[in-house]
A and B are shown apart, each in its own frame.
Chain A
């Protein structure tokens, strides 16, 4: 199933790495929207539906937690899975991400295999 994906990370390079790893993990990415922060990501969501959101936490302008909260408040056509991909892997941050509305948390650095394993239930749904 080809997916439309939104990747939010303030690092240009990390967004490309995430996309590369998604494809290496066997995810068929039909379209990838990239955002440097929460505001940009919300803009993309206002223009098109996506099937999966991958978001960092530490971003300027609007951080990942705030972005996730805003997404869950939006009246989207369907509930989009949100996966946090962050270098901050503390239990506290994972709890905060889930509390904000994230469905999964992946710590950086990650391998394509780990990505595949953690995204399986969203990709195959």
Chain B
């Protein structure tokens, strides 16, 4: 089973469990805020029997709502804390992907996630290509999940 299929099958459940309400994969690109609204992107490198970058992207508003929903006042809502939570969403997806790949006899190592903010002047992080992202609609807003394969290990 390929990575995109694995992600499509498992990501809604993982994100839904975190949000506490079902997450649904959708095919239409969600309406994001205007381009000058910073979106957050968390990335983790994968290396081994699978090489590439797994990323999670969401608007800053969605990240803040996710934070409110998950943390419920138990931590200060700082920019670092919000990014920390987006990184944790990625961690969950990486963990499940690695477990599923292990069932296929594949071994993968991953890097700790890094979180970036999109260019304040309206650009996006034009780093990743790859297949179309998996878009999840959730109670707190849409999240994009994408795996970008890299030909050689790094």
Given contacts A13-B81, A109-B14, contact A87 B91 (CB under 8 A): yes
Interchain CB contact under 8 A, A87 and B95: yes
Interchain CB contact under 8 A, B112 and A60: yes
Q: Does A51 reach chain B (CB closer than 8 Å)?
A: no
Shortest Cβ distance from residue B58 to the other chain A in the assembled complex, whole angstroms = 15
Shortest Cβ distance from residue B100 to the other chain A in the assembled complex, whole angstroms = 9
Among A14, A19, A92, A109, find the residue whose CB has the most chain B CB atoms closer than 10 A: A109
Interchain CB contact under 8 A, A16 and B75: yes
Shortest Cβ distance from residue A99 to the other chain B in the assembled complex, whole angstroms = 16
Size class of the contact patch on chain A? 20 to 34
Given contacts A58-B91, A92-B102, A109-B18, contact A13 B85 (CB under 8 A): yes
Q: List chain B residues, Cβ under 8 A from A13.
A: 67, 70-71, 75, 81, 84-85, 88
Q: Does B54 reach chain A (CB closer than 8 Å)?
A: no
Among A13, A89, A111, find the residue whose CB has the most chain B CB atoms closer than 10 A: A13
Q: List chain B residues, Cβ under 8 A from A88.
A: 95, 98-99
Contact check: which of B14, B18, B88, B98 meets A11 at CB < 8 Å? B88
Interchain CB contact under 8 A, B92 and A108: yes
Q: Mark A1-27, 1 if CB is under 8 A from B, else 0.
A: 000000000111110110110000000
Shortest Cβ distance from residue B105 to the other chain A in the assembled complex, whole angstroms = 11
B83-116 contacts to A (CB < 8 Å): 84-85, 87-88, 91-92, 94-96, 98-99, 102-103, 112
Among B67, B81, B92, find the residue whose CB has the most chain A CB atoms closer than 10 A: B92
Q: List chain A residues, Cβ under 8 A from B92.
A: 87, 108-109
Interchain CB contact under 8 A, B74 and A14: no
3 smallest CB-CB distances across A and B, nearest first, come from: A87-B95, A90-B99, A90-B102
B residues with a Cβ closer than 8 A to A are: 14, 17-18, 67, 70-72, 74-75, 80-81, 84-85, 87-88, 91-92, 94-96, 98-99, 102-103, 112
